[in-house]
């Protein structure tokens, strides 16, 4: 799983098209092996991003859950705490623990 692709389901407010596109871009970069495709592959690369974005949007709008929507700020704080434990940094800022 790409570390840069974040969960987008069940947030309030819902994921934006920009967030879905960014996740799609990361996915296409991962499976293609290209950070930036060559000019010869640019059209196929962009088409794949659009198709994955459309499929992801359709998926997100179709999913059903009974769980309370997640709060983005709370999830960001939890991620910072996980990073602090994992990498030994304070609040995930990169500053070493004293």
pLDDT at site 27: 95
* Alpha-helical segments (H) within 1-98: 17-32, 39-62, 72-87
Residue 1 burial (CB < 10 Å; 0-12/13-18/19+)? exposed
pLDDT tens, residue by residue, 18-27? 999 999 999 9
Rounded CA-CA distance 73/64 in Å is 22
pLDDT tens, residue by residue, 33-54? 999 999 999 999 999 999 999 9
The model's pTM is 0.74
């Amino acid at each position: 799983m790409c570390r840069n692709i974040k969960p987008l389901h069940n947030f309030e407010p819902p994921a934006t098209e920009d967030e879905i596109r960014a996740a799609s871009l990361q996915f296409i970069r991962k499976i293609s092996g290209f950070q930036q495709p060559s000019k010869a592959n640019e059209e196929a690369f962009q088409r794949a991003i659009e198709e994955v974005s459309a499929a992801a949007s359709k998926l997100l709008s179709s999913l059903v859950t009974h769980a309370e929507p997640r709060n983005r700020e709370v999830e960001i704080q939890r991620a910072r705490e996980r990073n602090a434990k994992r990498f030994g940094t304070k609040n995930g800022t990169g500053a070493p623990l004293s």
